[in-house]
Chain A
Amino acid sequence: MGLVSPDPFPWNNSHAPLVTDWIQIMSNAYRLVQWNKHKKVYDLTLIAFLLVYLTSFVGIGMLLFPSPEEISLPILLIRAFGTCSIILLHVILAIGPLARISSKFNPLLYNRRHLGVIFFFVALTHALLVFMFYGGFGVENPISAVLIGSYRSGGIPYEYFGFVSLLIFGVMAATSHDFWLKNLSPSFWKSMHMSVYIAYAFVIAHVVFGVIQSEKNLLYPVMISSGVVLIASLHLITGLREFRRDFRFKMSSTQSPWVEVCTVDEIEPNRAKIVQIDTNERIAIFKDGCTLSAISNVCAHQNGPLGEGKIVDGCVTCPWHGYQYNASNGQSPPPFTEKIPTYEIRIEGNRVMINPNANEPGTPVKPAEFNPIFNAKPSEYDG
């Protein structure tokens, strides 16, 4: 399925894919990878980083510890892949909140799936090296040998934390294709992939207990605690910003379901205002020409914040991956099949009224029309 718009991403144009590079983003046929120039640059940059990091780590390690009795090459490799995977994991976890703080980070978010899969293979390489180095070539299978060996040693079996986190990351990497998103249902898929935070906690336990037992150098504890503080701070800042930014409204105590949420001139042209009524799902009210439409703020693809996107060629466009919807019916333009809930909307004078009871996904709703002369900022319609 082709893109409806030649430029659906509200990113800085220097980061956006070129028009000539457009390939399918929303799809009515599965592909191995939906390559475009942006993704190729993203992946090549990532691979270059991996090569530079791994070779630098091993090279510097061999220079600092030339004797194999101090640190052997397999151990250097284990540490190189281990630290590299932890850095990638922190980048992955930081991208989400950074993109909420500034849209400049949206290009990083766009291809986060590839970053996640590459991260898994780096972590898997770390684990395979550990299993082969410490448990390989024995009577016992390498996994049992390492896990049982950690019990025999009498210390805290930190390998278990790493093993469980690797299993979680494995499930996430194996289900990263859009086929899984569609067939496991977006809500199940999203919940499953939110387990990255559980896996992150296991990774931290793996590193902390491992370092406590085997390292005297303060570098690793300082690095890992800085990472935890960074990730926690970014999520806290983003949560507070959203909490402050949200416009919350109470349902009317009368029989009327209509709730006044804003005035027409508060909404920028081709943009949305996001409101939340009681504890219901957030609603995005879009201004398209001289009409307003209200749809769910949650994209059917990966729960992206539609209200932070904009209208491109008549379609609401998700800022995360470019999925598009018609604001008046919550449906992706044919032949796409994605649907999101819509809401009844009307304008009284300059006041925008919403019925917070969501319609079934894809239900057409007549947009509310307004008079640009009376209802909008004069600057919007100058000339």
Chain B
Amino acid sequence: MTVAGGRMNYISLTIIALAIYLVVGFLFAIAFIAKGARSIDEVAISTPLSVRLLLIPGSVLLWPKLLLIWVRK
């Protein structure tokens, strides 16, 4: 395999890994806005669904950090 070919494989693998991370993050985000947000932050209990939907992109991207916070609570 050439150097360029090897790099192309790395690129494809990185993009696949990124996609898996985001899919797991999306599944986590559904649970997080349904329950997690309200259990780590009492202010979020009275927060309407429209605001909690706004938390989806951040939950998808930062799900490992949020999972840690949620578990520690």
Asked if B15 and A141 sit within 8 Å, CB to CB, the answer is yes
Instruction: Write the A134-158 contact mask toward B (1 if CB under 8 angstroms, else 0).
Output: 0000000101100110011000000
Asked if B61 and A143 sit within 8 Å, CB to CB, the answer is no
Residues of B within 8 A of A171 (CB): 58, 61-62
User: For the complex, is A197 an interface residue (Cβ under 8 Å from B)?
Assistant: no
Nearest Cβ in chain A — how far from B21, in angstroms? Answer: 11
Residues of A within 8 A of B46 (CB): 29
User: For the complex, is A30 an interface residue (Cβ under 8 Å from B)?
Assistant: yes
Nearest Cβ in chain A — how far from B41, in angstroms? Answer: 5
Residues of B within 8 A of A143 (CB): 15
Nearest Cβ in chain B — how far from A230, in angstroms? Answer: 31
Q: How many CB-defined contacts (below 8 Å) exist between A and B? A: 65
On whether A30 and B11 interact (CB within 8 A), knowing A177-B58, A179-B37, A183-B69, the answer reads: no
Nearest Cβ in chain A — how far from B22, in angstroms? Answer: 11
- Where chain B touches its partner, the secondary structure class is helix
Q: Which of B41-73 contact A (CB under 8 A)?
A: 41, 43-44, 46-48, 50-51, 54-55, 57-58, 60-62, 65, 69
What class of interface size applies to chain B in its complex with A? Answer: 20 to 34
| Measured CA separation A148–B47 after assembly (Å) | 44
Q: Which of A1-51 contact B (CB under 8 A)?
A: 27-32
CB-contact partner of B55 in A29, A141, A151, A177, under 8 A? A177
User: For the complex, is A182 an interface residue (Cβ under 8 Å from B)?
Assistant: yes
What class of interface size applies to chain A in its complex with B? Answer: 20 to 34
| Measured CA separation A122–B70 after assembly (Å) | 33
Residues of A within 8 A of B65 (CB): 184
CB-contact partner of A175 in B43, B47, B58, under 8 A? B58
| Measured CA separation A147–B18 after assembly (Å) | 14
User: For the complex, is A180 an interface residue (Cβ under 8 Å from B)?
Assistant: yes
Asked if A30 and B44 sit within 8 Å, CB to CB, the answer is yes
User: For the complex, is A170 an interface residue (Cβ under 8 Å from B)?
Assistant: yes
Residues of A within 8 A of B44 (CB): 30, 179
Instruction: Give A29's nearest chain B residue, CB to CB.
Output: B46
Instruction: Write the A175-197 contact mask toward B (1 if CB under 8 angstroms, else 0).
Output: 10101101110000000000000
Closest 4 A/B residue pairs (Cβ): A174-B57, A174-B58, A30-B47, A175-B58
Please name 7 pairs of A and B residues whose Cβ atoms are closer than 8 Å in the assembled complex, sorted by A.
A29-B47, A141-B15, A144-B15, A148-B11, A171-B61, A183-B69, A184-B62
| Interface residues, chain B, with chain A CB atoms under 8 Å away | 4, 7-8, 11-12, 15, 37, 40-41, 43-44, 46-48, 50-51, 54-55, 57-58, 60-62, 65, 69
